[in-house]
Amino acid sequence: MIKGVILMNDKGKPRLAKFYDYHIVKFFLLLAVLSSRAENVSNFVKVDSLFGPDARLVYKTYATLHILFIFDSSENELAMLDLMQGLHRNDRSEFVVTAKHLCFCGDNGQVFQQFLQVHAILDEIILGGEVLETSSSEVVKAVEEIYKMERAANSIMAVPSITSWQGR
């Protein structure tokens, strides 16, 4: 089972933290684990002291963004690394998961939309700690469909109802 997904910058500030199991996380401890590792070592770390027995962490660093998956022994470490690379492949699609989108700066409406897009992508991939979909194209297609339905619902809501016209 996947216990959590964390995206954080190189300063240790979490940009996204989604847990499927209850945990109190001290992000600076995770950053200490990551920064103390040499570049030529494995991306797999045992983190029993932080997340309980049999907990493992796999991480990947893209520029200033660290993607971390915390999981137990029932998950395959290489499959988790592949899932991470799937998130990076989504980086080239319309729905972007990058440090720029996770910095939450700029127009508040745009910030909220980006936040929802990142969560929608993650929810299409993982539900309740279990992997649902690994195909980037299927994830993007599902998220696009969600936004089409939301836009259609919003356009219906924008048209005044007939009952409000009769009241005039």
Domains of the chain and CATH, by start? 2-160 (3.30.450.60)
Give the span between the Cα atoms of 32 and 97, in whole angstroms: 24
Say what the pLDDT of residue 96 is: 40
**What sign does the dihedral 75-81-87-89 (CA atoms) show?**
negative
Say what the pLDDT of residue 153 is: 79
Say what the pLDDT of residue 33 is: 81
Give the span between the Cα atoms of 4 and 127, in whole angstroms: 11
DSSP state of 161: P
Give the span between the Cα atoms of 1 and 52, in whole angstroms: 13
* Nearest alpha carbon to residue 97 among 5, 4, 2, 3: 5
Say what the pLDDT of residue 110 is: 59
Say what the pLDDT of residue 161 is: 52
Say what the pLDDT of residue 158 is: 56
Q: What b-and-e string marks burial along 128-157, b requiring 16 or more CB atoms within 10 Å of the CB?
A: ebebebeebeebbebbeeeeeeeeeeeeee
Return averaged pLDDT per consecutive 10 residues of the chain, 168 residues in all: 86 84 76 81 83 86 84 89 72 46 51 72 86 82 84 68 50
